[in-house]
Structure 1
Amino acid sequence: MGLMRSLRVTQRAMERVMLGVHNQIRNMEIRSRTRFTGIAQRVAKLKWQWAGHIVRGQDGRWGPNVLE
C-alpha cells in the first residue's frame, strides 16, 4: 500500500470519527459535510510551494541548482 493511499484512508477514517458516522455514508458525502480538501491535493500544493521557495533562494545554496 502506497504512502498516499495510506494517508487518504487515514484522513477518511478521521473524518468519519469526527462526524460520528459508520459504513452507511459514502465518502463523497462525508467529504462534502466536512469541506476538507483531499490530502493528496494538499501534499501536491505544499510540494509546489516548497519548490517555489527553493527556486527563489539565491544565496548560493545547492537547492536551486538541483532543480534546474
Structure 2
Amino acid sequence: MGLTRRLRVTQRAMGRAMLGLSLRDQIRNEEIRRRTRVTDTAQRVVKLKWQWAGNITLERENVRRWGLKVLEWRPRTGKRSVGRPPTRWTDDIRRVAGSR
C-alpha cells in the first residue's frame, strides 16, 4: 500500500505542477484530474495487472509458457530476508479473487 500511496501523491504533485497550482490554492484532486485529463495511475496499474492475470489463466492448456512459471516462481538465494516477505503478484490476486 505504501507504494500505491506514493504513486498517487507523486501524480497529484505533477498535476499541480502542470497547472501551475500550489497546495495553498485548495483545489480538489478530482478537479485537477479533470483539468489535466490524466487517469489515476494506481487504478491503471491494477487494471493492467488483472488483464495480465486473465491472460495467464487462458494459457492453461499450454503449461510450458513462461507466464505461469513466473507466477509460481520462488527464488532460492540461501538465506531468508529479515522482516515481512515482499508481496507477490499472486498474493494480491488471491486477496481479491480468492484462492481459485
Please give the alpha-carbon distance, in whole angstroms, between the structure 1 residues aligned to 2:4 and 2:35.
22
Q: Which has the higher contact order (CA 8 A, sep 6+)?
A: 1
Structure 1 gaps of 5+ residues are none
Partner of 2:20: 20
Question: Could you report, residue by residue, the CA deviation over 1:17-68 in whole angstroms, capped at 9, with x for unpaired residues?
Answer: 1111112022221111112221221011101111011112232137189575
Q: Give aligned pairs, total.
A: 68
Structure 2's unaligned 5+ residue stretches are 73-89, 91-99
Question: What residue is the counterpart of 1:63 in the other structure?
Answer: 68
- Counterpart mapping for 1:21-36 below 5 A: 21-23=21-23, 24=25, 25-36=27-38
Q: C-alpha root-mean-square deviation of aligned residues, in Å?
A: 2.5
Q: Helix, strand or coil: the match of 1:21?
A: coil
The runs of at least 4 aligned residues of structure 1 exceeding 2 Å deviation read 64-68
| Bigger fraction of residues in helix | 1
Q: Which has the larger radius of gyration?
A: 2
Q: With structure 2 as the length reference, what TM-score do the two structures score?
A: 0.56
Query: Percent of pairs identical after alignment?
Result: 59
